[in-house]
Amino acid sequence: DPRGTYTCETESQKKRSLQVHYRMCQNCIEVDAPTISGIVIADVVATVFLAIAVYCITGQDKGRLSRASDRQNLIANEQLYQ
């Protein structure tokens, strides 16, 4: 704990005092360069996997051929709706 009053003497025997107030963070974590780079790389990898998953899920309907059961039968204009 670096808080307190510090004194120093000069060559002319004068005393100078310095009072230090220091506030420490209780819930802080230290973030250095490897931590930040790890977070960025993990974010990029997760984004790529998510993009591939979305592409695979939405790309399944493109190659499917249309079947007769998928088509709707249209009603002629002369017929009445019930």
> What does the alpha-carbon distance between residue 32 and residue 11 come to, in Å, rounded to a whole number?
41
pLDDT tens digits for 2-44? 678 888 887 777 888 888 877 777 777 778 899 999 999 999 9
Has residue 11 been placed in a domain? Answer: no
Give the pLDDT confidence score for residue 27 in this predicted structure.
Answer: 77
Q: Is the dihedral of CA 71, 76, 81, 82 positive or negative?
A: negative
Has residue 40 been placed in a domain? Answer: yes
Has residue 43 been placed in a domain? Answer: yes
Give the pLDDT confidence score for residue 19 in this predicted structure.
Answer: 83
Has residue 42 been placed in a domain? Answer: yes
Domain that holds residue 45: 29-64
Output the CA angle 49-50-52, nearest 5 degrees.
65
Return the amino acid letter for 69: S
> What does the alpha-carbon distance between residue 71 and residue 50 come to, in Å, rounded to a whole number?
33
